[in-house]
Amino acid sequence: MNQNSLSKVQRLKEVLLINLLGELPTIAFGPSLRKLLYRFIFAKIDNSVYIQNGVEFIGTNQIKIGSYVHIFKGARIDAKGENNKITLEKGVALEKDVTIGALDNTCVQIGEGTFIGPGVCIAGPGDITIGKRCLIAAHAGIFSNNHNFADPTKYIVDQGITRQGITIEDDCWIGHNVTVLDGVTIGEGSVIGAGAVVSKNIPPYSIAVGVPAKVIKKRDAKELVFNYQSSNE
Look at residues 63, 64, 174 and name the one whose alpha carbon lies nearest to residue 117: 174
> Which of 70, 139, 147, 176 is labelled catalytic?
147
Angle at 12 between CA 76 and CA 87, to 5 degrees: 40
Amino acid identity for residue 184 in this structure: V
147 belongs to the catalytic site: yes
- Is the distance from CB of 54 to CB of 74 less than 8 angstroms? yes
In angstroms, what CA-CA distances link 195 with 89, 107, 140, 169, 192? 27, 26, 8, 20, 9
Rounded Cα distance, 100 and 85, in Å: 11
Residues serving a catalytic function are: 147
